[in-house]
Every structure is written in C-alpha cells, then in structure tokens.
Amino acid sequence: MGHMNVMWYVGKFDEATWHLLASAGLTAKRMRAEGIGMVAVEQRIEYKRELLAGDLITIRSWFQEIRDKAVLFVHEMANEETQEIAARTFLTGVCLDMKTRKATPLPADVRERILIVLKEGARDQRSGGLRQQEAPGG
C-alpha cells in the first residue's frame, strides 16, 4: 500500500526504548551482567499521520514517571521533513529478575538518574524528562 505498516511503528518504538533505557544507564550489557531485564506490561499507540515508504523519521523519547519497579515513558515519531507527529506511544516497563521471572526494583543509580531528569523536565512542561533522538529511518 506504500505506507509504513503497523509492525514497523512498533519496531521503531522498540529500538527507541533501548536508546532511552541506555541513556539512563540501563544498557543491554548491564542487564545481562546483573541478571535483570525490562518487560513492557502496557503499551498504547496513537496513530496521527500516515508515513510513506522512504519517509525519514525522528523519534523523541522521554521518561514520564518512575516507580520502584517500573518506569513510564513516551515516544513520539515525527516525519523529519514536515516535523508532523506521525505516532505516539505510551509504555509501562517493569524491571524483571531474569531467574525468578518476578518484578524487582530498578537499580538505584538508574532510578536516581531518571528522577534527576524528571525534576529538570518539570521546568520544561513539553519535554517532561530526557529526550533521546534516534537516527532517521523508515
């Protein structure tokens, strides 16, 4: 049909999640070393504008809330040429102990880093926290 299929939106948002978590100190390497993981327990996607095959995109991401074992965050996908928001997703991720497969507290330094950017973001109502741009793709 010449447009970006739903599965690509989810895939791009997933890639952006890895960047956002790493920006808070929660890299894939660290998670493997510490025996923890992150699981999405809720995701809501709003489709705003159609993207066509070949459109360049930018994803802006930020943390919205931090809890003991969970983090809420947002990704916005924009058409790089027009700057129009094409889609937005809201996610809740939970830190998981990979052996017990049960929720576990987020590492203290990660929680602290997210808390700092949330406090800084409170001054900027639009950002609400860390913004991470992903390389254009689509």
Task: Find all residues with CB under 8 Å of 37, minimum gap 6, and list them.
Answer: 31, 95, 96, 98
| Identity at 84, one-letter amino acid code | E
For 46, the token pair is: 């709003």
CB 66 within 8 A of CB 115: yes
Neighbours of 94 (CB within 10 A): 18
Q: What CATH number did the domain enclosing 20 receive?
A: 3.10.129.10
Is position 132 within any domain?
no
Which range of residues forms the domain containing residue 72? 6-124
How confident is the model at residue 5, as a pLDDT? 81
> What local confidence, expressed as pLDDT, does residue 120 receive?
87
Nearest to residue 9, comparing CAs of 85, 117, 67? 85
How would you classify the pairing of strands 102-103 and 132-133?
A: unpaired
The answer to the question of residue 111 being in a domain is yes
Digitized pLDDT (tens) for each residue of the chain, 138 residues in all: 677 888 899 999 999 999 999 999 999 999 999 999 999 999 999 999 999 989 999 999 999 999 999 999 999 999 999 999 999 999 999 999 999 999 999 999 999 999 999 998 765 544 434 444 333 343
If you search the block for the tokens 């992150």, which residue do you land on?
38
Domain assignment of residue 134, yes or no: no
Q: What is the pLDDT of residue 15?
A: 96
| pLDDT value at residue 122 | 65
Residue 1 lies in a domain: no
Q: Are 89 and 113 in contact (CB under 8 A)?
A: no
Specify if 28 maps to a domain.
yes
Domain tally, the chain: 1
**18 domain residue, yes or no:** yes
Q: What is the pLDDT of residue 124?
A: 56
